[in-house]
Amino acid sequence: MELPVTIQLNAECLLDWRHRHTLLKLLKEGRAHVLGSDCHGAHHRVPNLAEGRAVIEKKLGRSILDQLDQRGTTLLEEVRTDE
């Protein structure tokens, strides 16, 4: 079933081996669309997008990262045109 939703993965979860396999599978199948961070500051929920991106690149390759970047850019452009 196709639904008009955008699925965001949290970079923190990619760093946790318990969740990594499932999230990488979602990315590989194209069922997750953007990568985000639940960053709240320098000491609590620290920024970790670089680490999450490194996991994706190592496990799935640069092309998946490029797809995530393009989807994020497209999503922002769509929001801007709706304003």
Are 34 and 60 contacting, i.e. CB atoms less than 8 angstroms apart? no
Burial class (CB in 10 A: 0-12, 13-18, 19+), 9: buried
Domain that holds residue 25: 1-44
Number of domains in the chain: 1
Q: Which is nearest to 37 in space by CA: 25, 29, 46?
A: 46
């955008």: which residue's tokens? 6
78 confidence band (pLDDT: 50, 70, 90): confident
Flag whether 13 is in a domain.
Answer: yes
1 domain-assigned: yes
Q: What tens digit of pLDDT does each residue of 19-54 get? A: 999 999 999 999 999 999 877 767 777 778 999 999
| Residue 2 belongs to some domain of the structure | yes
Q: How confident is the model at residue 4 (pLDDT cuts 50, 70, 90)?
A: confident
Domain membership flag for residue 52: no
Residue whose C-alpha is closest to residue 51's, from 6, 3, 13, 77:
13
